[in-house]
Amino acid sequence: MIMEEMSKSCGLNNQNDQHQLQDAEISEKLKHIRHKILVMSGKGGVGKSSVAAYLSIILAKRGTGLD
């Protein structure tokens, strides 16, 4: 939503400009997180959400300070 509003107000029509703005927004939101784990796949329905959920439970039980 923020990106859409900013792109409209700044007159960003170029897709590359929009991607740069999106990258900056994501970087800003994630900069306070020291370690990141990415769970991804090129195919749907392979259990990415389940893996992410179980991983967060395991890390939380180990007392890693996961919020």
**Shared domain check, 28 and 12:** yes
Task: Verify that 44 and 25 share a domain, yes or no.
Answer: no
What integer pLDDT is reported at residue 11 of this predicted model?
Answer: 57
**Whether 38 and 25 share a structural domain:** no
pTM: 0.53
25 lies in the same domain as 41: no
- Domain match, 40 and 66 both: yes
Reported as a single tens digit per residue, the pLDDT across 2-19 is 655 655 555 556 888 899
| 48 and 63 housed in the same domain | yes
Q: How far apart are CA 17 and CA 10, in angstroms?
A: 10
3, 22 in Cβ contact below 8 A? yes
Pair 40, 65 in one domain: yes
Domain tally, the chain:
2
